[in-house]
Structure 1
Amino acid sequence: MQTMDFFLILLAVIATWRLLCLRYQRTHIALLGRHLASLQLERHMETLTQGYTRAIHEKDEARQLQVLDTFAQTERAVALQIQALADSMQQESEQATRMGVLSFCVPYIEQFLPASTRDFRRLLHIHAAGLRHVVDNLDHWGPKDRAYHLSAELYLLQHSCHWFCKSRAVADARLMVRHKVQRQQALDAVSAVTRSAYLMWLKDGAPPAHRV
């Protein structure tokens, strides 16, 4: 009987935890969704990630460069819209934009364990500055290398948004399923500007690099 009681209590705890997670995640999804609603960021990002993959698989180098060149306008649009998203999210309170650094979802962790959270607003500014750096090609990469690094910037941004909305474990899984890329691989492939600011943010939540 005692064993049965224990399992019933455990089941109730798990169910309550799951409900709290879903409610907490829905709050984050709704918050980010409000700021994305007026943007075409997701569509532009999909155009670029799919287009870069197609271009890289072109056997003829001249054709490859020609395809990459067609994305210039979309790249600029993505850079502008990510900056717009980062600026728009600044309207939200820090309490509303904290995200846990643990791999799994801990509902309302910012209220009782703030040291284990980071500010999503700052992370978005890191992504905006890093993407602008690559779009402007300040490291003077060739077209193919530039597309490779820009893809990584977009993958890492997607990962951050999924992390904020769900959890780091879910974001890791989605990145692997959608793009066959691990978070560390994306982090290794982004610009040094993004990587250094991201690692600093992850370590202690310090302010991001200045916008470019």
Structure 2
Amino acid sequence: MDMLLLLAAALGFAWAKKKDQSERIALLVSVLSRFDIEKLMESLTDGYLRALGEEDAERQTQVWSYLEVQEQTLSEQFTAFAAEFATQDAAATRVSRLPVAIPYAARWWPSAGFDVREAFAVHARGIASVIENQAGLSPKRRAFTLSAELFLMQHTCHWYCRSKTVASARLLARHKTTYQQVLQSVSVGTRNAYLAMTGQSAAV
């Protein structure tokens, strides 16, 4: 009898977890699908590699100039996405700070989480700031910092849909970089706002 109860509890947990994550994914996709953000990210990543590998200085300058147009488009689209997502219901946009996924934890324990709408706003400002380049970064350094901003934004999407642990694992698998490295590579403004919002210390 005890085994049956444990099995029933395990099945119930798995069902609730899948339902919670499916709802989150569906909500994110419903808004994200209206934009070309993922395609632009892939195009920029490939473009940065092409620019960095270009030996001819004039040709490299041309590639950087071409990428600036895509960067601006990406920034505008993500800002619009963040504004659109900000209209979603607060109950559906909480993210649990727990390292593993527990079904609906962000709803029944809201103080242990943060609002992904606020996170997307932080990312939108960070991306726009790096692209504006008021800090006067070199093209190479600017590309490096913007890549980190985009990777952190992508990590937030996965954290919202799954969990922080899964998001960090996907970041490492896809981009060969750790969550900590990305946090250290984004702009100071983004890092400070992000850490304060997620309730983390600088030594995450």
Q: Secondary structure at the match of 1:82?
A: helix
Q: Deviations over 1:124-177 (max 9, x none)?
A: 000000000000001110100000001000100110011111111111111111
Distance change (3 Å), C-alpha of 1:62 and 1:188:
farther
2:93 paired with 1:97: yes
Partner of 2:51: 55
Write out aligned runs for 1:117-156 (5 A): 117-156=113-152
Displacement of 1:36 in angstroms is 1.1
Contact preservation (8 Å) 1:52, 1:151: no
Distance change (3 Å), C-alpha of 1:144 and 1:113:
same
Q: Secondary structure at the match of 1:118?
A: strand
Distance change (3 Å), C-alpha of 1:9 and 1:128:
same
Contact preservation (8 Å) 2:126, 2:190: yes
2:67 paired with 1:71: yes
Distance change (3 Å), C-alpha of 1:103 and 1:34:
same
- Whole-angstrom distance in 2 between the partners of 1:10 and 1:60: 65
- Whole-angstrom distance in 1 between the partners of 2:64 and 2:8: 54
Q: Secondary structure at the match of 1:71?
A: helix
- Whole-angstrom distance in 2 between the partners of 1:57 and 1:182: 24
Displacement of 1:62 in angstroms is 4.6
Distance change (3 Å), C-alpha of 1:7 and 1:67:
farther
Identity rate of aligned residues, in percent? 39
5+ long unaligned stretches in structure 2: none
Contact preservation (8 Å) 1:175, 1:183: yes
Partner of 2:17: 21
Q: Deviations over 1:28-61 (max 9, x none)?
A: 1111111112111111111112222333334455
5+ long unaligned stretches in structure 1: 205-212
Q: Secondary structure at the match of 2:95?
A: strand
Partner of 2:82: 86
Displacement of 1:7 in angstroms is 4.1
Q: Deviations over 1:170-192 (max 9, x none)?
A: 11111111100111111100111
- Whole-angstrom distance in 2 between the partners of 1:43 and 1:19: 32
Contact preservation (8 Å) 2:94, 2:107: no
Partner of 2:5: 9
Contact preservation (8 Å) 1:41, 1:81: yes
TM superposition score normalised by structure 1: 0.88
Q: How many residues align?
A: 200
TM superposition score normalised by structure 2: 0.92
Displacement of 1:64 in angstroms is 3.6
